A and B are shown apart, each in its own frame.
Chain A
Amino acid sequence: MSNRTFSVLGLFDSSQQLMDAIPVVKARVSGRLEAYTPYPIHGIEEALGLRKSPVGGMVFIMGLIGAISALAFELWTEGVDYPVVTAGKPLFSWEAFIPIMFEVTVLFACFTSGLGMLFLLNRLPFFRHPMLRSRSMPLITRDKFALAVESEGQVLDVDRITAALREAGAQTIEVIDQPEALGPVSPRFLLRAAVGIGMACLVTGYLTYWCMKLFPVSVPMVHMLDQPRLDPQRRDSYFKDGFGMRMPVAGTVARGHIPYTIKTEDEAAVLANPLPRTGSVLSKGRQEFTTYCSVCHGILGNGVSTLTPAYGAKPANLVADKVREYPDGRIYHVIMMGKNAMPSYAAELTGDERWAVVHYVRVLQRALNARDTDIPKEIPR
């Protein structure tokens, strides 16, 4: 039993009695007057001298914010961040954004009004208020009306207030004690809270992840990542060898792929290079040569390359006299059919590319066997 009193309250039967009592008590005692009623009583604000509620202003401001943010968001997403054309409408077609703007405005305004009232203005939820533990509370929420003189720190003169209330016509008087001041929040509580919040975050986070990532693709939800069609470079269970990519049937001729029928290098000599010696052809030739040939034959085609020591066989020196005397067709044939350790490059190079390479090989041969006469008479300074 603490010695300090929180408030003294008197119960009345009707709102009328309450209203009549207010001025009486006000005149007698100092201290804050507060009324508790089962339902709102009109005019009691004035009687108790309470100022008007500021809810309206809050609602207006938040509503405005809602409207602006909604419209801004729509304009940004549709016009700036994800500009896709639908039905030939302009990206900033604000007309279509009004309905959502309106709804968001309403949402903001209503929740400001409701929750603002509860949390900001009325400071609810508040479960430890001394009134809640008073005997009168059940009566008040039912049909009684209470007028209370509450202490704002100062010590109340209980007897005096009681007298005043009696005079104002209160049947029952209740004195409500100040609850013990709450000690500092215990570390255990803080720890519990932290852990609880942490757990909650984890669970919600995981659930969200599950809902958005895993749920949509679990059976029977169908999605498009695993296609029933057979894509290139894929295994296919239907064929016994498991290869999704099949070999063409021997002897067939695909469009644009007339088979190369020449058997020997000598026969190939008759082949003439169909490509002109233009810059583009030569650069094409260089590109392919560097990609496929230079690995063994060396960047200069002289058979000296990084790979050469790595394995036994000695790749041909393309700039040697022997090869220089080869006709174009013969070089082409070697590219087609391979030679000694060299495999065929038919699959890697198309016909034109092979001929371009032949041209480039010629360029290399010429470049590595330059003569003095190649140097122009007067060297430009």
Chain B
Amino acid sequence: MSPSGHRGEIPAGSIPLAEASVDTLSRRRFLNLISASAALALGTTSCSRIDRGKIVPYTRKPEEVVPGVATYYASTFQEGVATQGVLVKTREGRPILVEGNAEHTVTRGKISLRAMADLLGLYDPDRLGRPSAGGVASTWEAAEQEIAQALKAARAAGVPVLLLTDTLMSPTRKALIEELRAAIPALRHAAWEPAVSQPEIFAARALFGEVLLPRLRFDRTEVILSLQDDFLGINGNAPSLARDFAARRAVSSAKDSMNRLWVIEGCMTLTGANADQRLQVRPSKIAPLAFALARVLNEVYGVPLPRDLNAGYLRPFELDAQARELGIEPPVLLALAEDLRRAGRSALVLAGAALPREAHVACHMLNGMLGAEGHTVDTDFAVPAPELLTFGALRDLLDEAGRGAFPIAIFWGTNPAYSFPDAAAWKSAVAKIPLKIRIGLYEDETALACRWRLPEHHWLEAWGDFEPAADLLSLRQPTIGAIHDTRQGEDILLACLRAMGREVPPTYHEYMKARWQREVYPGTSPASFEAFWDAALHDGLLRREARPRPPRVARTETFVEAMSEASAGSPGSQEDGLELVLLPGMTAYDGRYANNGWLNELPDPVTKATWGNPLLVSLSDAKRLRLEDGDLVTVSAGATSLEVPVLIQPGQSPGVAGLSVGLGRRTGNVATGVGVNAYPLMDVSSPSPNLRCSVNVARTGGRRAIPRTQEHDRMEGRDLARSWTLAEYALKAGGQEAGEHGHEVASLMPAQEFTGQKWSMVVDLSACIGCSACVIACQSENNVPVVGPERVLVGREMHWIRIDRYYDGNPAEPSVIHQPVLCQHCDDAPCEIVCPVNATTHSSDGLNQMAYNRCVGTRYCSNNCPFKVRRFNFFDYTSMKKEPESLVFNPEVTVRPRGVMEKCSFCIQRIQDVRQRANVESRPVRDGEIKPACAVACPAEAIAFGDLNDPESRVSKMSKMDRGYRMLAELGVKPSVTYLVDISNPMTGKGKA
């Protein structure tokens, strides 16, 4: 934010929306006097009924803060191996919103919905507030003392000390741990993440000897083949990937080229929902199919095989045979091969975490053959993936601990007590560790097993640096002083170092700065280090030139091994039982966000289920097992079994079930009792634990209703969300059907005129992937309450923007379309005329505005809203909040009490903010300057907002596109939101998939 824009709490000349006439004002004053005197006469003025509070100003006002004006900080969000550059919006030194940092070269302003939602985690009342020993509140001093002594003793005895952390993406943190190891030679450090794609690591290590984090260049990609890989969904970098992916789909004319997405998968993923061609294959059958494709590419289209690989090895992989076995038309597979060959190096093949190792090898093989390796799979500035324990390795480690190898264990961040499948191993291990220390945010399952529970800073309170790519360093800085008596995890380690008699800076902040001065700064900048450092913090990142790394070379033997494994058929591929895909959910991820109300209530983009993780089964399996939505079943694999409600998922391939991990936590007021913990179903010994074969499912007879925000999946032949294939688009372009702008309903009333601005929005259904980031952004920006499962169940969710997901065609293999629906701000809004108290009216710049405080709650407006976007406060939801949760509220938006109707306001507060700034700078509002929260958050840039009266503005141009139409225009309500028809690009001319 440029500071010159707004100083002073009340910017000069903010535009009044309604024209207040003079005599009204005088009358208002008159009536005020009357009532005042009346009150005086009745002697009731003494009882002022609302305490308006005291003014508490800054005693010494910091330079960067102006009360009532937002200050932004660049910082970094990290999760697993993904790091995202964020801008944190703070008000009076308190974060209230997390947005993307557009200057960040890797994520480029696109951040995941979890990054946005974790703001609520900062203010989570369940956070551990102060250190405690054995459940008794204690002090940091005591903790340091005891730990120091223990460490000293351990060093003296030379016994190993276990330090288990999550992924180490931070160079400085890595250095710190190195230093700690230097201080305690017997330190055993290990990093573990349950939500990492283990087979991928295996495959890469076997093939190339090293594991890299390549950058996927969808901007260079023509044809994508995703093998059960949900790169638009749970992938850590999904937002930035989605940006490039969608950029190639938002076509402006039928002649534009579009990328084509082929998806071969068993479970219906968000990526599968966006596929142009989708083939249903059980995960265990995908690897052979991939090799068969390679063979066809080689034999039919003469694509060379990898260096000195004997074509003979590909013999066993018969395309037709497999097609027959899988019930797929061979021509479709040939078409796929042909398509890949045509794309050549602009093709991209991806394999998902649920697939076995050999499938990933096959994926690398195809990329190599097509030349995609190094082009669309960009390894130029890739950094090696941090070392991570596999499930098996962690089990060995725990066994070792179980044999009493470690007198001291520090568990930092990662939560094995909950997420490690083999609970027995964990229990025996912790039983044998005398001193267990937990560094974490919550008193979670692992903390409960530890003596010392040391509360850690939330990432919004912490310092840090990350290295997402060789040419980029990303910085993290605190946006608020610690809310509780917590410390940064690194500071605790520094304390240990100090105890070991090392000379270390007092704080991690200093430590990091010192290291940067030593290692990063030299030769980077002419300016002084202070200036250099401040600039880096200001930008939140440091770009530096690095040499592109040489292309990777694959080991041929690995291909051969993989092929033999694939031809042997994966162990669990026998037909009995289901194949169960166990992947982290999009909201709770690996379980760390399970206590976040916003994320729990966010409907899953595909199933629209909230507050839980139902078992997704295919229609045919459901029929076979006589299952209905909400029936409880026992899922049993090997020794473990658990009870979970089922959800019948159209498009799920027969014999495949899906279940997301990360729920069923045992701690946390919000998390407890939500969903089931599916980790125990993972097979620790298996190389691909995310896929469990031969799983048995049996009805228990019980039922548990699944709270879904959308009960009805079909459009009933209504013309709401429109989808054309590229071919259809070519036909319709310019024709009658294209667009709805000619569609004017005759009216007896003269049309309303908007002089000046007329706000409007354009939503490109072709770009929208349905990821639901906008929902979280809106919730965070507009203080949208969380209502809880039982109220979602009766249909009282409060989201101002929802993503409608419709299935079309054959339910067994449907085509899917997503449509974000928010208040359409109709020019002739039906909700307005029926409000008896004028609580919802029309502004002179085309907004359908709600005066919350005038609303008495007749709910007539909701009945009369054809889009059903109005939300009603059936209870006083905010009164249920605990401190400090209410600090998360955006001070610019009224918090609505019970009995009041609410809805999308096009982020009026942002419109006014920009207007005021423009006024202060005495200039007109620039196009694209106003961005509603949803538009900012949308990774696919599917939402455009602006002034329709300005012919040059992006929206007025887009809304005139021949793909544009207004939903339910035939009702004559004249919506202000234009939708652009979704364009799909299938091989055959007949709709998606």
- B-binding residues in A (CB < 8 A): 81-82, 84-90, 93, 96, 202, 205-206, 209, 213-214, 217-218, 222-238, 242-249, 251-259, 261, 346-347, 350-352
Contacts and interface: CB of A to CB of B under 8 A. Distances in A.
A93 B752 CA distance: 13
Nearest to B889: A229
Contact of A88 (B55, B827, B889): B827
A95 to B, nearest CB: 8
A261 B899 CA distance: 54
A255 B891 contact: no
Given A89-B749, A232-B891, A245 B65 contact: yes
B42 A88 contact: no
B835 A245 contact: no
A261 B841 contact: no
Contacts of B878: 228
B534 A229 contact: no
Interface in B394-413: none
Given A228-B886, A254-B71, A84 B58 contact: no
Contact of A255 (B1, B481, B835, B974): B1
B92 A246 contact: yes
Given A254-B71, A255-B74, A247 B62 contact: yes
Interface string B597-616: 00000000000000000000
B891 A229 contact: yes
A344 to B, nearest CB: 9
A257 B842 contact: no
Contacts of B879: 222, 228
B141 interface: no
Contact of B56 (A89, A209, A223, A233): A233
Contact of A90 (B461, B537, B750): B750
Contacts of A236: 887
B190 to A, nearest CB: 32
- Of all A-B residue pairs in the complex, the 9 with the closest CB atoms, nearest first, are A246-B93, A229-B889, A87-B833, A88-B752, A222-B897, A86-B832, A245-B92, A232-B67, A257-B64
Contact of A248 (B65, B835, B893): B65
A350 B4 CA distance: 7
Interface in B854-895: 876, 878-879, 881, 883-884, 886-887, 889-891, 893-895
B262 interface: no
Given A245-B65, A350-B3, A229 B895 contact: yes
B479 interface: yes
A96 B751 CA distance: 17
Interface in B46-69: 47, 49-51, 53-58, 61-65, 67-68
B71 A209 contact: no
B72 interface: yes
A287 to B, nearest CB: 13
Contact of A347 (B63, B893, B898): B63
Nearest to A235: B56
Contacts of A85: 752, 832, 841-842, 844
B479 A232 contact: no
Given A214-B49, A242-B56, A249-B480, A352 B4 contact: yes
Contacts of B736: none
18 contacts: A87-B830, A87-B842, A209-B42, A224-B852, A228-B881, A234-B55, A244-B92, A245-B58, A246-B93, A247-B481, A249-B477, A254-B64, A254-B90, A255-B71, A255-B73, A257-B71, A258-B535, A347-B61
B491 to A, nearest CB: 14
Contacts of B833: 86-87, 89, 96
Nearest to B43: A206
B828 A234 contact: no
B755 interface: no
Interface residues of B, number: 93
Given A209-B42, A253-B538, A256-B1, A88 B749 contact: yes
Nearest to B5: A256
Contacts of A257: 3, 63-64, 71, 538
Interface of B: 1-4, 7, 9, 18, 24, 27, 38-39, 42, 44, 47, 49-51, 53-58, 61-65, 67-68, 71-74, 87, 90-94, 461, 477-481, 509, 528, 530-531, 534-535, 537-538, 749-752, 783, 827-830, 832-833, 835, 838, 840-842, 844, 852-853, 876, 878-879, 881, 883-884, 886-887, 889-891, 893-900, 974
A232 B890 CA distance: 11
A244 B56 CA distance: 7
B56 A93 contact: no
Contacts of B884: 238
A189 B4 CA distance: 76
Given A88-B974, A261-B531, A233 B67 contact: yes
Contacts of A230: 92, 94, 886-887, 889, 891
B700 to A, nearest CB: 42
Given A255-B71, A347-B61, A245 B895 contact: no
B902 to A, nearest CB: 11
B8 to A, nearest CB: 11
A358 B74 CA distance: 31
Nearest to B855: A224
Given A246-B481, A252-B537, A350 B828 contact: no
B90 to A, nearest CB: 8
A86 B62 contact: no
Contacts of A227: 889, 894-895
A258 B891 contact: no
Contact of A228 (B2, B537, B889): B889
B7 A350 contact: yes
A228 B883 CA distance: 10
Given A84-B841, A88-B827, A246-B480, 19 more contacts: A81-B27, A89-B833, A202-B42, A213-B39, A218-B49, A223-B853, A226-B50, A228-B879, A230-B887, A234-B55, A235-B56, A237-B883, A249-B477, A249-B479, A253-B537, A256-B1, A256-B2, A256-B72, A257-B71
B886 A206 contact: no
Contacts of B93: 245-248
B835 A261 contact: no
Contacts of B890: 229
A246 B894 CA distance: 21
Nearest to B849: A84
B852 A245 contact: no
B92 A84 contact: no
Nearest to B840: A86
A275 B880 CA distance: 53
A236 B900 CA distance: 26
Contacts of B62: 247-248, 347
A82 B94 contact: no
B829 to A, nearest CB: 5
A273 B112 CA distance: 43
Contacts of B56: 233-235, 242-245
A336 to B, nearest CB: 9
Nearest to B844: A85
B530 A205 contact: no
A84 B884 CA distance: 40
Contacts of A90: 749-750
Nearest to A233: B55
A228 B895 contact: yes
Contacts of A218: 49
Contacts of B853: 223-224
A224 B838 contact: no
A66 to B, nearest CB: 21
A229 B92 CA distance: 13
Contacts of A81: 24, 27
A209 B897 CA distance: 24
A234 B893 CA distance: 16
A96 B1 CA distance: 48
Contacts of B4: 350-352
A356 B840 CA distance: 46
A230 to B, nearest CB: 6
Contacts of B749: 88-90, 93
